[in-house]
A and B are shown apart, each in its own frame.
Chain A
Amino acid sequence: MKLTAKLTLLFVLLTTLPLSLVGYLAFTNGQRTIHQNTVSLLVSINNLKKANFIDWIENKKDRLSLFAKRPLIVEFSRILVSPGNKNTVEWQNASRKVTDEHFKVSIEGGGGFFELMILRPGDGMIVSSTDERNKFKYREDQPFFKKGREGTYVQNAYYSLSMGQALVTVSTPIKDEKGNLVAVLAGNLNLDEITSIMMQGSGLTRTKETYLVNKFNFMITESRLKPGSLMRRAIYTEGAKKALSGKSGVDQYTDYRGEQVFGAYSWLPEYELAILTEIDVSEAIAPVLAFRNRMITILILVILLVALIGIAVSRTITGPIRKLMTGIEEFGRGVLDKRIDVPSADEIGQLADTFNRMADERKRVEEELQKINKELEGFSYSVSHDLRAPLRAVSGFSNVVLEDYGDQLDDEGKRYLNLIVKNTSKMGNLIDDLLKFSRMGRTDMAFSTVDMKKVAMSACKDMKLVYDDREIEMSLNSLPSIRGDSKLLHQVFSNLISNAMKYTEREEVGKIEIGSKILKDYVTYFVKDNGVGFDMKYVHKLFGVFQRLHSEKDFEGTGVGLALVQKIIHRHGGNVWAEGKVNEGATFFFSLPVKE
């Protein structure tokens, strides 16, 4: 991994880990708090509504029983329930006065009952009612009538076919001063009123609602969330079941809509009603989710910020390093004037300074070496050049002596003179090669794209002419083209092939293989033979000037060929090396850089 990435990751980890931990703790803590709050809120709302409902209904009961105790009501009731003609003035009077002067006044005064009536205790006939239509109907089968004879009773939520609506009826006995039952007083209450008690204040939330369920599982108040539930929807939820079995509590369960809710439930034994307050889990935990989302957003922002900071900070470290790296690379490629500018005073700045100093030194040494080298080359050139003239004189005059004074010399003398001539000619060859070699260091090179195969083939052809008496098996593989000086590269192949031919002299069939191998930045060419080979011990001597591994008697030559090859390849920026084994052939490699 790159240093920038490493540093950035480290930064991010160091900041996000503690942040996530704190966030997680805050989240779970918040969740717990909200859950507790929700639960206690639901329970207190449920209790409040319960209290409101009980207040409301008890108030109605009180009103009704106070009503039943009014002496005039008792008196009128006695008349109304008495058997006999209902058309008497007394009866009509009582009926009118009860409804007009008492009942209607109470209803209009906002007593909460929408209908008040008096029932005959024997058969449940309505003898008087504020609703004229209900007069003389019978309610003998209704619980409010049966139980209302004994005490104040609430018949909760039933559907009256006769009234065409759902209602609650409160009833109470009307008794005379001796405590004898005279009649039953009953009042009808609208279920809407209970619904409005349950709905009060629910509007602040989206899903919170309180409702009542009777013992037959029917919802007796309207649902906020599913209108049309009043007296229609049967509730068999976990909460309702528990409440109906007399328990109170709070739970999470699936409600009648199939939604997950938190619900507080309670049983009202006196009225045989269950009261439930529920809120959707999704709404209850919405603040927690919002908090979580906020945390995640913050975390992402922090990560981004830290990553940016991390990248910026690591850039200040890696930037100079990279500069240093490219500088060194460039310097390595031979740009000796390359210096690295890192102004900081830290370790990297010091490193750059050190490098710069080293580069200065290196450049100085290199230039000095070049100078010395040039001087040396010039020297060897002039030496070899100047050597030729005296040598020619020695050779020339030796020949003159042989020709003009040969008869005055004995055989021994002639032989010596011949030796002198031969050795001067050999020395001449040596000087020629030396000249060639030193010239090589000075001539300019003409770079072009060289078709190496063509070059190698032409070199082969030349060499075959030289060694026309030999039987050679040549195999020439594909050779990629490369940039270089074609004349010099021709020289390289000529030398290597000539070498190979020379050292395979003793083989019946000389085998020479020329090939190549493409590496990333270099192409390596090789010339392989099956000749005498060499001992790897002396491999370092192969490319030295006048260095020879074999005696001149065995193989002729001056020992400049391979040195020349090395010089040419080095001037191309390449490299030469060789592999071999005694009597098992040798392979000479040279690699050249691939340049655009």
Chain B
Amino acid sequence: MRKAIGFSVIIFVLLLLVSCSRQEAPVPFDKVTVQLKWVHQAQFAGLYVAREKGYFAEEKIDVEFNEGGSNIDNVGEVTSGNAQFGITAPEHIIRERLSGIKIRAIAVVFRRNPLVFVSKKGSGIKRPADFLNHTIATSKDSRVQLQAMMEKLGLDSNQLKHVPYDRTYKSFLNGDIDIQSRYITGSVQQLMSAGYKFNIILPSDYGIHLYSDTLFTTDKLINSDPDLILRFLRASLKGWRYAVENVEEAVEITLKFAKEKDRELQTKMMEAQLPLIHTGEDQIGWMKAEIWEGMSKLLLEQKVISEPADLEKVYTMKFLEDIYGKMM
């Protein structure tokens, strides 16, 4: 009997809600654009999932993604208002902040840096100490890490033989290049599955701990519409969580966006980035002060920046804390 009453109350309330929501005008969706760090690929799977699974819609957000590229200024797109959120490297955010651009990190998607150095198996090059007197090709963004790593280990980087970077693997495979910087999430996976064997040297094994893909927005938006940021972040993290738990489906969804429709490639990328996103420590997206401090220190030591950054203004834990609750 009590059940029956409870049931009818629920029905009544539901009817009330339905009738109310019918009378009210639909809540308008916030239009949001995200400036991606690079072209559509599994790197941003969590965002695609959040959109396709309706997580953004649940938060009343209508989201669009703009592809990045070598000639696209991620930060500029966000500060100009073409996009409300962007994904970029954390050192980029520190640098821009110091130059007076008012942007702030709100969460880190890749909490470990995918940059690695690879050498051929059997080359004997297994650790940074072995780099000396060998040819090395580094991309622009890997140079700081290499330099910092060598310094930390007390190795003389003058003994490195720098050669021009080659996006293809040709010079590496034919032996012209001994060591090359690469993203562990990218072509390394492809070549490994093709049967090539590498020694992989992780900067994080040698005291270099940099975050990678970081979500940021402007101070202006943080001050004017913190609720939108909270909703956006909540949906994004939910998408990432789903993507981590359901790799196959995440890849499937990614393929709807990516120009590169190679399922195997996207799957490899997705699997390789899992330990970067979800490390087993802290929740997805979480940021630690010590890492930000370490990055700032490293950039200062490497003279990428000339003065210490005010980290309070570089990132905010406000939204992550709201979502996950305060952590120790």
Contact assessment for B278 and A159 in the assembled complex, using a CB-CB cutoff below 8 Å: yes
Contact assessment for A137 and B205 in the assembled complex, using a CB-CB cutoff below 8 Å: yes
Contact assessment for A136 and B281 in the assembled complex, using a CB-CB cutoff below 8 Å: no
Nearest Cβ on chain B to A243's Cβ, whole angstroms: 16
Task: Pick from A138, A229, A232: contact of B206, CB below 8 A.
Answer: A138
A231 at the binding interface (Cβ < 8 Å): yes
Write out the residue numbers on chain B whose beta carbons fall within 8 Å of the beta carbon of A133. Answer: 126
0/1 per residue, B248-280, Cβ < 8 Å to A?
A: 000000000000000000000000001110111
B112 at the binding interface (Cβ < 8 Å): yes
B175 at the binding interface (Cβ < 8 Å): no
Write out the residue numbers on chain A whose beta carbons fall within 8 Å of the beta carbon of B104. Answer: none
B84 at the binding interface (Cβ < 8 Å): no
B204 at the binding interface (Cβ < 8 Å): yes
Contact assessment for A231 and B278 in the assembled complex, using a CB-CB cutoff below 8 Å: yes
A234 at the binding interface (Cβ < 8 Å): yes
Quick one: closest B residue to A219, CB to CB?
B245
Contact assessment for A138 and B129 in the assembled complex, using a CB-CB cutoff below 8 Å: no
Contact assessment for B283 and A216 in the assembled complex, using a CB-CB cutoff below 8 Å: yes
If A161-B202, A161-B276 touch, whether A136 touches B241 (CB-CB below 8 Å) is: no
If A161-B112, A161-B275 touch, whether A231 touches B280 (CB-CB below 8 Å) is: yes
Write out the residue numbers on chain A whose beta carbons fall within 8 Å of the beta carbon of B202. Answer: 161-162
State which size class the interface on A falls in: 20 to 34
Write out the residue numbers on chain A whose beta carbons fall within 8 Å of the beta carbon of B275. Answer: 159-161
Write out the residue numbers on chain A whose beta carbons fall within 8 Å of the beta carbon of B209. Answer: 141
B309 at the binding interface (Cβ < 8 Å): no
Quick one: closest A residue to B283, CB to CB?
A216
Please report which residues of chain A, range 197-219, place their CB below 8 angstroms from some CB of chain B when the two chains form the complex: 214, 216-218
Q: Chain A's interface: helix, strand, loop or mixed, by majority?
A: loop
A140 at the binding interface (Cβ < 8 Å): yes
Q: How far apart are the CA atoms of A86 and B3 in the complex, in Å?
A: 77
Contact assessment for A217 and B278 in the assembled complex, using a CB-CB cutoff below 8 Å: no
Task: Pick from B126, B205, B276: contact of A162, CB below 8 A.
Answer: B205
Write out the residue numbers on chain A whose beta carbons fall within 8 Å of the beta carbon of B290. Answer: 141
Nearest Cβ on chain B to A213's Cβ, whole angstroms: 12
If A232-B274, A234-B241 touch, whether A158 touches B127 (CB-CB below 8 Å) is: no
A281 at the binding interface (Cβ < 8 Å): no
The interface on chain B, measured as residues whose beta carbon lies within 8 A of the other chain's beta carbons, has a size of: 26
If A159-B275, A234-B245 touch, whether A216 touches B282 (CB-CB below 8 Å) is: yes
Write out the residue numbers on chain B whose beta carbons fall within 8 Å of the beta carbon of A216. Answer: 280-283
B207 at the binding interface (Cβ < 8 Å): yes
Q: How far apart are the CA atoms of A29 and B220 in the complex, in Å?
A: 65
Quick one: closest A residue to B274, CB to CB?
A232
Contact assessment for A158 and B281 in the assembled complex, using a CB-CB cutoff below 8 Å: yes
Write out the residue numbers on chain B whose beta carbons fall within 8 Å of the beta carbon of A233. Answer: 244-245
Quick one: closest A residue to B199, CB to CB?
A133
A166 at the binding interface (Cβ < 8 Å): yes
Nearest Cβ on chain B to A237's Cβ, whole angstroms: 13
Write out the residue numbers on chain B whose beta carbons fall within 8 Å of the beta carbon of A74. Answer: none
0/1 per residue, B117-146, Cβ < 8 Å to A?
A: 000000000110100000000000000000
Contact assessment for A220 and B280 in the assembled complex, using a CB-CB cutoff below 8 Å: yes
Please report which residues of chain B, range 167-211, place their CB below 8 angstroms from some CB of chain A when the two chains form the complex: 184, 202, 204-207, 209
Q: How far apart are the CA atoms of A290 and B21 in the complex, in Å?
A: 45
If A162-B205, A232-B244 touch, whether A137 touches B278 (CB-CB below 8 Å) is: no
Task: Pick from B204, B245, B281, B282: contact of A232, CB below 8 A.
Answer: B245
A157 at the binding interface (Cβ < 8 Å): yes
Please report which residues of chain B, range 293-314, place their CB below 8 angstroms from some CB of chain A when the two chains form the complex: none
Nearest Cβ on chain B to A28's Cβ, whole angstroms: 16
Contact assessment for A137 and B127 in the assembled complex, using a CB-CB cutoff below 8 Å: yes
Please report which residues of chain A, range 177-236, place their CB below 8 angstroms from some CB of chain B when the two chains form the complex: 214, 216-218, 220, 228-229, 231-234
Could you say which of A159, A161, A231 has the most chain B C-beta atoms within 10 Å of its C-beta? A161
Please report which residues of chain A, range 144-178, place their CB below 8 angstroms from some CB of chain B when the two chains form the complex: 157-162, 166
Q: How far apart are the CA atoms of A387 and B239 in the complex, in Å?
A: 128
Contact assessment for A232 and B279 in the assembled complex, using a CB-CB cutoff below 8 Å: no
0/1 per residue, B221-248, Cβ < 8 Å to A?
A: 0000000000000000000010011010
Nearest Cβ on chain A to B190's Cβ, whole angstroms: 17
Nearest Cβ on chain B to A60's Cβ, whole angstroms: 18
Nearest Cβ on chain A to B278's Cβ, whole angstroms: 7
Task: Pick from B126, B205, B245: contact of A138, CB below 8 A.
Answer: B205
Q: How far apart are the CA atoms of A232 and B245 in the complex, in Å?
A: 5
Write out the residue numbers on chain A whose beta carbons fall within 8 Å of the beta carbon of B206. Answer: 137-138
Nearest Cβ on chain A to B281's Cβ, whole angstroms: 5
Q: How far apart are the CA atoms of A229 and B247 in the complex, in Å?
A: 11
Quick one: closest A residue to B280, CB to CB?
A158
0/1 per residue, B304-326, Cβ < 8 Å to A?
A: 00000000000000000000000
Q: How far apart are the CA atoms of A228 and B274 in the complex, in Å?
A: 12
Quick one: closest A residue to B276, CB to CB?
A161
Q: How far apart are the CA atoms of A157 and B282 in the complex, in Å?
A: 12
Write out the residue numbers on chain A whose beta carbons fall within 8 Å of the beta carbon of B112. Answer: 161
What are 19 A-B contacts defined by CB distance under 8 Å? A133-B126, A136-B129, A138-B205, A158-B279, A158-B280, A159-B275, A159-B280, A161-B184, A216-B282, A216-B283, A217-B283, A218-B278, A220-B280, A228-B247, A229-B245, A231-B280, A232-B278, A234-B241, A234-B283
Known contacts A159-B280, A161-B202, A218-B280; 11 further A-B pairs (Cβ under 8 A): A133-B126, A134-B205, A137-B205, A138-B205, A141-B209, A161-B184, A214-B280, A217-B283, A228-B247, A232-B247, A233-B245
Q: Which residue numbers of A lie inside 8 Å of B, CB to CB?
A: 123, 133-134, 136-138, 140-141, 157-162, 166, 214, 216-218, 220, 228-229, 231-234
Give 6 closest A-B pairs by Cβ, nearest first: A158-B280, A137-B205, A159-B275, A159-B280, A138-B207, A162-B205
